[in-house]
Amino acid sequence: MEKNDKQLVLDYLSGDETALNIIIRRYLKLVYNFAYRLTGRAQDSEDISQETFIKIWKNIKRYDQNKEFKTWLLAIAKNTATDWLRKRKDFVFSHFETAEGKNSITDFLADSAPMPDKVALQAEDKKFIGELLSQLSPSDREIISFRYDDSLTFEKIGRILSQPLNTIKSRHRRAIIFLRKILTEPKNIFLSYK
């Protein structure tokens, strides 16, 4: 039987070093993908992931057992990524870089190889979505990412971002309206949103 996060934290605090390794394996891909969506760079995503888990290790005694571990972890990942992006000298915080021809979903593809035309369409779709989302402000892109990539509720997103529920819902709605406008008026793909 697989242990839940809270039990693994308790096991680690009781001296079981392997419990932390299980937590890292369980959430490494989630943290890496979150960081990659924000930075568009594999190296930066690896660095952010590593720094996030170092912070988890250093602060695990402060984890409140009454709260969901995943929410706590993603809040640390979000803060680590935000700090990382602010420190980068070549990064303009109000703009996101898009992936250049790299398809991050290859790790999730089934073993049977898809047809080349399907792979090309997937890459085009990913590039299009990346360009579309890059038009959002960093903070609104976080909300969209948490909501649709990580399937988090508005309540959890609010806790992670330390913002009221209605603010999260309002920003989500505003971002969706803006994205719909871009999609219905393709000539205006570079509308000013931020």
CATH of the domain at 42: 1.10.1740.10
Q: Is the pLDDT of residue 50 over 50?
A: yes
Say how many domains are in the chain.
1
Task: Locate 142 and state its tokens.
Answer: 């976080």
- Contact, 157 vs 170, CB < 8 A? no
Could you tell me if residue 15 is inside a domain? yes
Q: Among candidates 11, 34, 8, 33, which has minimal Cα distance to 23?
A: 8
Rounded CA separation 35/139 (Å): 13
The SS3 of residue 152 is: coil
**Backbone phi, psi, residue 77, to 5°:** -60, -45
Could you tell me if residue 155 is inside a domain? no
Task: Locate 156 and state its tokens.
Answer: 């959890």
Average confidence score pLDDT of the chain: 76
Average pLDDT over residues 64-90: 82
Could you tell me if residue 18 is inside a domain? yes
Instruction: Record the pTM.
Output: 0.53
**Backbone phi, psi, residue 47, to 5°:** -65, -45
Q: Which of 2-6, 98-102, 137-141, 175-179 has the lowest mean pLDDT?
A: 98-102
131-155 pLDDT, tens per residue? 777 788 888 888 888 888 888 899 9
Task: Tell me 156's DSSP state.
Answer: H
